[in-house]
Structure 1
Amino acid sequence: MPVVHADMSGGQAIDLPGVRGRMERLEFASGIVLYRMEYEALDDCFVQVQNSFSEPWIGSALHLQGHSELAYPDGKTFTLTPDSALLMRVDPSGSRFHLFKGQLVRHVGVASTLAPLQARFDGQLPGRLALFTDNSFGDFQLGQSFSPSPRLRHLASNLFDNHAKGSTRLLKLEGIANLFLAEIIELFCEENPTKDRIVVWEDQSLSDIIAHIEHNLDGTLALSALANMAGLSENRLDQLFRQKFQLSCAEYVRNERMSTANRWLQSGELPVREVAKRVGYSHVSNFSRAYRARFGETPARTLRRATSRST
């Protein structure tokens, strides 16, 4: 299995042997560093990355699309997907991404050294960030995975669409990167409220509703109809979804529809209009807007890439 070495310190698109796409590192005066990666592995391979920091730092990572594995120098491995964000600090060089043949990876990472970040919090970082604030630099390695919010995914998609273009491109990218880091820190540091006890019949009702959603993505999946089917109030069903998935019922349905649409489009077997219909959209334009907000590209582009691979 080949190993592709990538220097991320250039601040511009980089062509990698064995990987089709781009990788970019942008450093801003505010101390924020933005990483944007968009590529497809032509074969199973590793992308090895050299750390460019020389002092303690905190970084974040999220795949807007695709999946890969990030291996630390000490051997710890983290799976990156659109449903698993990562807050991290890895001082030694030698981390590497394991890419899988045919996988399109659209990745966002935002990092900052501790000094400017601490200044933004009036000198006192949120409590949970203390995990990453070891003052010594050298061998420190830590990663914490957690579920991203719909807002975090939306900010990530903005880094790949029209918000990241034009004469004010760098100004826009810095603003979005700041919002992205703020959101991911807030998600990570937010204390979970004491969870209500879910009784057995409620848990079974929730499982039945999840199965119903999975098999009826082309149907009406309004909260009121689902609550009536489950024998629960709308508020209680929504509460159960938030408790179990950190998503509202509507957000869960939308996520399932978009994830399923993405799988169908990547198979290249169905036209966009048919995919839209199968996930409950009667208007292709509405489907395209929702898909782009989720994945940072139009469904037509995903389909073109899939069909070009099969020819």
Structure 2
Amino acid sequence: MKKAVLAGGTGFIGTYLAQQLKTLGYELHLISRQKEHISWEDASGIQAALDGAELLINLAGKSVNCRYNERNKQEIFDSRTETTRILGEAVLSCEQPPELWINSSTATIYRHAEDRPMTEEHGEIGSGFSVEVAQRWEETFFGFQLPSTRQAALRIAIVLGPGGGVMTPFQNLVRYRLGGRQGPGSQMFSWIHLEDLLGIVLFLRDRSDLSGVFNCSSPQPVTNRELMSSLRKVMGTSWGLPSPRWMLEMGAVFIKTETELVLKSRWVLPDRLLKEGYTFKYEGLEQALQHIINTDQAMKR
């Protein structure tokens, strides 16, 4: 049986990938802080899981949906760089190291962009805390020289899918007539459907000639205004109250998050994937939203 290792696979994305990898016939090993999985402190257990694995996927990292105080910032850094370091050292100690190591990164690594899209080749790295996290994460990952293991860092945009994630708060906003534009509404929203994220993982698995950095985002990003308009349309709501910046700032303090998650303009294109022949299942936002809403409704029946 093929073997795969999923690190940090207990969240919205990881739970979906775990289910799909099992369906594809993988013997799956999970590394997390949950008692039923391999512990991050269990070096021998991690090495044993990685030995002979076809695929290692690392999604570990504290959620950035929090206030950026010093304690949370340090946890955000450590939960990404330390877990990546642990995995890299384990891979180096394997007799049969994994064939492919896919490490999560983030599309937030690029600057706030309303003037042009960011690609892997021509994108401009931004500044600030979130960008620094992304840079150190990738530096830790690519700092390992692994002659027998291909390495791919996925700069993942906002992931949309049924059953949770960011779709839950977005749907709640529309449901309570608060689904208008957020801030100026002109900021770009780069996104990817959960099924395409899996598709990209499998695409890279099957393309032994590919490695390095890949933007994981739909080729059709939209503005925040277009995002909320499409969501209202799909949910059958004609109008939503807009949220000006001052309201978002107040709300962010109340719910203990940061407005950057909504107000930063992420204009990211998957240039390398398109050039290498990956075909997106969900290119357009309205098609993706319709699938998600229909699936959520079916799950509730």
TM-score w.r.t. length of structure 2: 0.26
Quick check: which has more Rg, 1 or 2? 1
The structure with the largest strand share of the pair is: 1
Higher relative contact order (CA 8 A, sep 6+): 2
TM-score w.r.t. length of structure 1: 0.25
